[in-house]
Structure 1
Amino acid sequence: MTDNVYTSDVTVDSATPSQLAESIRLREERIADNIDELVGRVHPKVLATRAVNRAKSTVIEEESGSVKPEAIALGVGSVLGVAALIVGLSGRGKRG
C-alpha cells in the first residue's frame, strides 16, 4: 500500500494520511542511509587506511613503486637534525 510519494511532492494540506506516512518513511530511509555512510567514513579502520594511503603516496612513486628522493632527503635531514639537537643539548648540560 505504498504510494511512492517523495517529500517534495507532498504538502501537509493536500496529502492523505497514507501519503504522509509514506513520505515520512522515505525520509527516514534517506536519513538512515546518510548516517550509515557517515559512520562508514569516520570508522577508525577507514581513517587509518586513508592515512596510510596518504602517507604512502607522499613517500612512494606511484608509477615505479620506488621511494621518492625528496622523501629520502627529508628523512635523512630529520635524523641529522635530531642527532644535532641531542648532541647540542648533551654538551650544554656538561658546561654548567
Structure 2
Amino acid sequence: MSSNVYTSEVTVDNASRDQLSESIRLREQRLAAGIDELVGRLHPKALTASAADSVKSVVIDEEGRPKVDRLALAGGVLLVTVATIGIFASRGKRG
C-alpha cells in the first residue's frame, strides 16, 4: 500500500483500486470509532455519572470536604421554598 492512502493525495483520478479500497476501509474505521465514542458519551450511565460529578464539584472541594457556604445556601433556598409552599397551601384552604 502507498503511504498516502490516509491523505487527500488519494483521489479517484490518481489512485489504484487497492488504494481506494484501503482508503474507504480506513474511513469506515474512523467513522465507526467516532460513532462508538458518541454512543458512549450519550449513554444514560455516562450522562448520569457526568451530572453527579458536576453536582459533587459544586458542594465538595478538592480535599473531599463539604463546601459549607454552598450547602448553607442550598438549605436556605430549600427552607424558603417549603415555607412559601406552606403559606400558599394554608391560604388555599381558608378561601
TM-score (norm 1): 0.84
Deviations 1:48-78 (A, max 9, x none): 1111111101011112x22112222222212
- 2:32 & 2:93 partners in 1: Cα distance? 64
Higher relative CO (CA 8 A, sep ≥ 6), structure 1 or 2?
1
**CA RMSD, aligned part only?**
1.7
Gaps of 5+ in 2: none
Deviations 1:11-42 (A, max 9, x none): 11111111111111111111111111111111
- 2:43 & 2:27 partners in 1: Cα distance? 24
- Percentage identity across paired residues of the two chains: 54
Q: Which moved further from structure 2: 54-63 or 86-95?
A: 86-95
1:6-17 map, 5 Å: 6-17=6-17
Aligned pairs, number: 94
- 2:19 & 2:51 partners in 1: Cα distance? 46
- 2:2 & 2:74 partners in 1: Cα distance? 63
TM-score (norm 2): 0.85
